[in-house]
Structure 1
Amino acid sequence: MAPLKSLEKEYPLIDSIFQSFCASHAIFSVEDFLLHDIDALIALADNHCASQTLKQGINQLLSIIDARHPPLLNGLQLLEDAQQNKHVLSTGCERIDALLGGGLREGQLTELVGSSSSGKTQACLLTASTVAKHKSSVIYLDTGNSFSPHRIARFVGQSSASDNQAAHKLKEVLDRIICYSVFDIYQMFDVLHQLKTNLRSEIVKSNQHVRLLIVDSISSLVTPILGGSGPQGHALMISAGFLLKKLGHEHNIAVLVTNHVVGGEDGVSKPALGESWKSVPHVRLLFSQDCGSNVCNISMLKHPSMASGRAASSAMFL
């Protein structure tokens, strides 16, 4: 979000005194401000020699944020948006596409939940290669060095570099998959804000519309910031979810993220990141693999228009 300094010219209350006060509490941008306890900030302003002006600045900033929120849409407008603008992208796996009613829907955030080696990354790579084969761009945020061009090559169908036509096809596909190595949530915010700026400025190749954004894995970025008793980690997590969904909705992008599982009651595994994150994904799929089996089992945990509990299995991750 915007640095506070960029607001000074248009909003005189966000002056150098206000900015210095905020900076003393590690607040340099609108995003930092949103992550801070506003009541605590007002209490701190009360003890400042310019308390009245600072509190006016806080109210001014809250008004700016409120004014920039997107307008509420009624049910008919939401339906029209879904029918006219939000298309479905194939994952490359018939079983998963059938389970999802065609594939990943643009404008929605789909989460793949599962233990290590359950097939989540393979599904991400297969989906990325499938979308790229159809001449659309993919943004791939790799948090654990799991992105593999060799697996993409297998999905594209090139088994030998001697096949010039297949090699050219693979090069085109890989050229459309823009991979970023992202190792903490702040790096992810930087990439997403830059992507938002580029999309708004239409800084994309004319024949390569970005249609898919992948984060593999979101839990690797969020889990380290959830420790301790403070609210900042959870606020960052929700802010990340909001930004991903906002990018997807405003730019008709399908968002695909992966998440780990943790031990729950009675030894039953459950998605990581807790109840606060639970409401973020539009769709949740649980991936599992039987011991000694090469078959991946996928079940529906959550979907806005389908009943949970539906299941499928596939050997696509071999």
Structure 2
Amino acid sequence: MAPLKALEAEYPILDPNFQAFCASHGIFSVEDFLIHDLYELAAFAEQQPTSEKLKQGITQVLSIIDTQHQPWLNGLELLDDALHNKHVLSTGREGIDLLLGGGLREGQLTEIVGPSSCGKTQVCLLAASNVATKQMGNVVYLDTGNSFSPQRIAQFVGHIAGCAFDEAGKRIFQRIMNSIVCHSVFDIFTMFNVLHRLVINFPSQLQKGGQVRLLIVDSISSLITPILGNSGSQGRALMISAGYMLKKLAHEHNVAVLVTNHTVGGERGIPKPGPWTDLEEHPTCEASTFW
């Protein structure tokens, strides 16, 4: 989903007047509508000179939200899609792939959970390097904690590709490194915007043969924890929207999505995943398992 301003070209009803009205109520994006009292918003619209046009704009945004829902699929259709379209991407470590049932599956979202400093980011860097090198695909890395290391990526790529230090080897190394794109994302709304731009660019990427095979969010907890600090339901709504958007992107564009999350204290002191939403794969990260 996107900022309202980005939708104006496609939906003229969402003009600057409508955007200004929404901004006066703290609404700047489609996501904001999900956590706002729409009955109250419509009541405010009634008091404006352009009330009918404003209400048409509200209806248009609701229509956009409605189109985001996936169509119903029966079991046979889902199985056929899994068999023919959902390939498995190796993380670069046999033990991790074994825990994941073969690796990272295209069209699905995989969550790796573990305490701080257990190696989650290293798994992400390794997976990015391996997919870019062996699967010949692009990788988008959303770094929420300033933990992305291009030096570590270069080490992994050099080891996996085994490039010689001649001109041909340097070109191969450069191509692989250029196929891993990192975005610094420090709040959930920035993540929504980056994902929206990514979806818009998918058609042109396919035409150029540069398909994104893997999307990494390291870590989702850095984005979710701050929005759950308030007492209302807005944080939970945004959390659910983030999970839904990532799953939808994975399914519709056949991308493997890898998300890391931290652990929190559970019942009787047993660690459990931090606040998030039900995801596809859910292994627990332990340094002894991976390294």
Q: Give the TM-score taking structure 2 as reference length.
A: 0.85
**SS of 1:192 mapped into structure 2:** helix
- Compute the displacement of 1:222 (Å): 1.6
Aligned-partner Cα distance in 2 for 1:269–1:9: 47
CA distance in 2, matches of 1:128, 1:83: 24
Structure 2 counterpart of 1:140: 141
Instruction: For residue 259 of structure 2, give the secondary structure of its aligned residue in structure 1.
Output: strand
**Distance in 1 (alpha carbons) for counterparts of 2:187 and 2:64:** 29
Of Structure 1 and Structure 2, the greater strand share is in 1
Counting matched residue pairs gives 286
Partner of 1:292: none
- Is the 8 Å Cα contact of residues 225 and 233 (structure 1) preserved in structure 2? yes
CA distance 1:163–1:16, shift in 2 (3 Å): closer
Note the C-alpha offset of 1:101: 2.2
Residues 127/61 of structure 1: CA separation in 2 closer, same or farther (3 Å cut):
closer
TM-score, with structure 1 as normaliser: 0.78
Indicate the SS of the match to 1:116: coil
Which position in structure 1 is the counterpart of 2:272?
270
| TM-aligned CA distance change 1:67 to 1:270, over 3 Å | closer
For the structure 1 residues 213 and 68, does the alpha-carbon distance in structure 2 shift closer, same or farther, using more than 3 Å as the test? closer
Q: Indicate the RMSD between aligned Cα atoms, in angstroms.
A: 3.0
> Is 1:184 aligned to residue 187 of structure 2?
yes
Residue matched to 1:150: 151
For residues 216-235 of structure 1, the aligned pairs below 5 Å read: 216-235=218-237
Q: Report what 1:31 is aligned to.
A: 31
Work out the CA distance in 2 between the residues paired with 1:233 and 1:141. Answer: 20
Contact 1:143–1:216 (CA under 8 A) maintained in structure 2: yes
Q: State which drifts further: 258-267 or 55-64.
A: 55-64
* Deviation readout 1:26-79 (Å, 9 max, x if unpaired): 223333222312244345456667767755654454345335544222222211
Residue 195 (str. 1) matches residue 223 (str. 2): no
Matches within 5 A, 1:1-318: 1=1, 4=4, 6=7, 19-45=19-45, 58-59=58-59, 61-67=61-67, 69-134=69-134, 135-158=136-159, 163-165=164-166, 167-202=170-205, 205-206=208-209, 208-273=210-275, 277-279=276-278, 281-289=279-287, 295-296=288-289, 314-315=290-291
Residue by residue over 1:277-298, the C-alpha shift from the partner in whole angstroms, topping out at 9 and shown as x without a partner, is 231x211110124xxxxx23xx
User: Residues 36 and 80 from structure 1, CA distance in 2 versus in 1: closer, same or farther, beyond 3 angstroms?
Assistant: same
The CA distance in 2 between the partners of 1:242 and 1:67, in whole Å, is 13
- Counterparts of 2:218 and 2:207 in 1: how far apart (Å)? 23
After TM superposition, give the deviation of residue 265 of structure 1 in Å.
Answer: 2.2
Overall identity of the aligned pairs, in %: 60
Question: In structure 1, what is the Cα distance between the partners aligned to 2:41 and 2:230?
Answer: 20
Q: Secondary structure at the match of 1:246?
A: helix
Larger CA Rg, structure 1 vs 2: 1
Question: Following the alignment from structure 2 to structure 1, what is the Cα–Cα distance between the partners of residues 41 and 144?
Answer: 34
Whether the aligned pair in 2 keeps the contact of 1:112 and 1:287 (CA below 8 Å) is yes
Moved more, 193-202 or 248-257: 193-202
Asked if the contact 1:158–1:170 (Cα under 8 Å) also holds between the matched residues in 2, the reply is: no
SS at the partner of 1:250?
Answer: helix
CA distance in 1, matches of 2:186, 2:19: 30
Q: Which amino acid aligns with 2:149?
A: S
More helix by share: 2
Question: Does the 8 Å contact 2:92/2:126 carry over to 1?
Answer: yes
Q: Structure 1 residue 256: deviation in Å?
A: 0.3
3-state SS in 2 of match to 1:258: strand
- Quick one: distance in 2 between partners of 1:10 and 1:113? 40
Between the aligned partners of 2:53 and 2:159, the Cα distance in structure 1 is 65
C-alpha distance in 2 between matches for 1:68 and 1:163: 47
Partners of 1:8 and 1:158 in 2: how far apart? 46
- Identify if the C-alpha distance between structure 1 residues 193 and 112 changes in structure 2 by more than 3 Å, giving closer, same or farther: same
Distance 2:155 2:28 in 1: 46
Query: Per the alignment, do residues 202 and 154 of structure 1 end up closer, same or farther by CA in structure 2, a change over 3 Å counting?
Result: closer
| Inter-partner Cα distance in structure 2 for 1:249 and 1:9 | 24
Gaps of 5+ in 1: 290-294, 297-313
Secondary structure of the equivalent of 2:213? strand
Residues 204 and 265 from structure 1, CA distance in 2 versus in 1: closer, same or farther, beyond 3 angstroms? farther
Secondary structure at the aligned position of 1:118 is classed as coil
